[in-house]
Chain A
Amino acid sequence: QKEVEQNSGPLSVPEGAIASLNCTYSDRGSQSFFWYRQYSGKSPELIMSIYSNGDKEDGRFTAQLNKASQYVSLLIRDSQPSDSATYLCAVNMGTDSWGKLQFGAGTQVVVTP
């Protein structure tokens, strides 16, 4: 059973601090990795994609990928109350499975003023 694992949280973060979210996956064939943000009652919104080992930065967000350890993380710098949401980690379902994503259950982040 291929799995994507995330800590469910809630992760409580003071405003202005760094939120660190972790995700592990079991399918070594996965090549594409995504972070989605989902506000309560809304649909997932893509915030980051990463395909190569290392770090990728986009504004206040940094995604980190380590394929050898089957680990992907997301850092949110200078956290704002508007960052309070559930963050979903998603990976593609192995080679030759384009466009099909497997999701973790999500980590709830609560940014406190």
Chain B
Amino acid sequence: ETGVTQSPTHLIKTRGQQVTLRCSSQSGHNTVSWYQQALGQGPQFIFQYYREEENGRGNFPPRFSGLQFPNYSSELNVNALELDDSALYLCASSREGTDTQYFGPGTRLTVL
């Protein structure tokens, strides 16, 4: 069974730029959720994708957007990067209708 994978591992951007992060779900999982984890904090729910549509969003502005593809992989896009966007971005996959989330290794984003 293949686990959740994410790319890239690390990324450095400057304020105002745009970034795309990628995630492949665990085999057998059709739902992907994205979380942001700032240093010293717990992960914060950004949004979830199910059946290629957004299925719930946390308290994040519209410049955070995403996609899900037919193979259940997903992208997280962040426009107009701000310094506070510096964080570990976590992708988690699950089976539809279940709460158990399995996390990928994360992408560390640094905004300068």
Task: Say which residue of A31, A34, A100, A105 sits within 8 Å of B45 (CB atoms).
Answer: A100
Task: Say which residue of B43, B104, B105 sits within 8 Å of A103 (CB atoms).
Answer: B43
Would you call A43 and B90 a contact (CB within 8 A)? Answer: yes
Chain A CB count within 10 A is highest, among B41, B103, B105, B106, for B103
A59 at the interface (CB under 8 A from B): no
Chain A residues, Cβ within 8 Å of B41: 105-106
Would you call A32 and B43 a contact (CB within 8 A)? Answer: no
Chain B residues, Cβ within 8 Å of A104: 42
- Give the number of residue pairs across the A-B interface with Cβ within 8 Å: 72
Would you call A99 and B42 a contact (CB within 8 A)? Answer: no
Closest A residue to B103 using CB positions? A43
Beyond A32-B99, A92-B99, A100-B56: 13 further Cβ-contacts under 8 Å? A4-B42, A34-B100, A34-B101, A42-B105, A49-B99, A90-B42, A98-B96, A98-B98, A99-B101, A100-B99, A101-B35, A101-B43, A101-B101
Q: What is the interface of chain A, defined by CB distance below 8 A to chain B?
A: 4, 31-32, 34, 36, 42-46, 49, 88, 90, 92-93, 97-106
9 A-B contacts, Cβ less than 8 Å apart? A34-B100, A34-B101, A46-B100, A46-B102, A88-B42, A100-B99, A101-B99, A105-B40, A105-B41
